[in-house]
Structure 1
């Protein structure tokens, strides 16, 4: 298929080369000899883009305790490689899902099985944009944007993000969230993006607020984790 004459380049990206039209976050095979850190990812209208470094305030922290610049062996903000999820990612994602800090920020149960993750990946369809973040070939986080199925709610998408416990507070969550919002705005034309977060997860709330999300409501004692009931917040980002 031919590339349209007018190509809208997502914010924070610069075009590298052109190719076959595949849509945002499609899977591709990097050129031989390309290191994991330097791989490009294919995005929108058959162009390959490399995201420029983005510096935003407010790290995400699904772990119970966010790492600081003094405890982290990595730079304060790093730019991960973002790509579409693959069936082969199931084992790495399952390991992340079973981390105590990750689980603390979700409603997931302990001892999740790889087969469960494999089925979830296999069932994801066109309504879902699901990406992972890599550092030197290691999956360190993921994020998904799921569009509502009802025709009268098709302008709404729900976002979920999670990180490896050892890679919080490094800007990875912000990179994932920014990429998903780019898809929501520029590829799916969504008007409302929403999410749920624990009311005591202040780092995550700051991250979402820095990307334009606002608290819409509080669900009292709606989440149960580690033997206690916790409040949840509904947050949304509107674009009308």
Structure 2
């Protein structure tokens, strides 16, 4: 998948040589928002582990990593991961991050639509799930506009060192 968008934007699948840029992107954006599960410089995978994840994901029917590119710069990443267990492989877990500099421009919707389209074309995924902090109102509004429904709340699911936050589980059946 490689989709050309306006303003020199492209959505494409990640490949092995993107690993370094992906880790650098995640380590940077971790400091831009409190809504991620990691902070600045805390992305849990090394460049080599990320490269291996990309390679394994290319051979796995229920997983993909999509990059939103502006010229040669990653400005957003969207992922779908499904279990290898037969009872759960129909469920794709979605993750999405847009660089703070590029939020509020409709790019999250573009990347979400690309992930949903990928899932619809995939013979394995029947349900897309995601978890977001319950106070992430802009993201929740986008997810609901795209058809995601609230499934449940995980109370005191994350802690930023000062305060606990609830997480909201959402799903889209395709």
Return the TM-score normalized by structure 2: 0.84
Name the SS for the 1:203 alignment partner: helix
The verdict on how the C-alpha distance between 1:215 and 1:170 changes in structure 2, with shifts beyond 3 A counting, is same
**Residue 95 (structure 1) aligns with:** 24
Q: Does 1:141 align with 2:76?
A: yes
Distance 2:123 2:101 in 1: 32
Instruction: Give me the CA root mean square deviation.
Output: 2.3
Higher relative contact order, chain-length normalized (CA < 8 Å, sep 6+): 1
The offset of 1:170, in angstroms, is: 1.2
* Aligned residue pair count: 167
Pairing 1:178–2:109 present:
no
Report the TM-score, using the length of structure 1 for normalisation. Answer: 0.63
Pair 1:235 & 2:170 matched: yes
Q: Deviations over 1:180-234 (max 9, x none)?
A: 1111112234221100000111111111111110111111110112532111000
Q: Which has the higher helix share?
A: 2
Unaligned runs of 5+ in 1: 1-24, 26-40, 42-49, 54-77
The reply to whether residue 153 of structure 1 matches residue 84 of structure 2 is: no
Which of 94, 111, 115 is the equivalent residue of 2:41?
111
Whether the aligned pair in 1 keeps the contact of 2:82 and 2:90 (CA below 8 Å) is: yes
- Structure possessing the higher radius of gyration over alpha carbons: 1
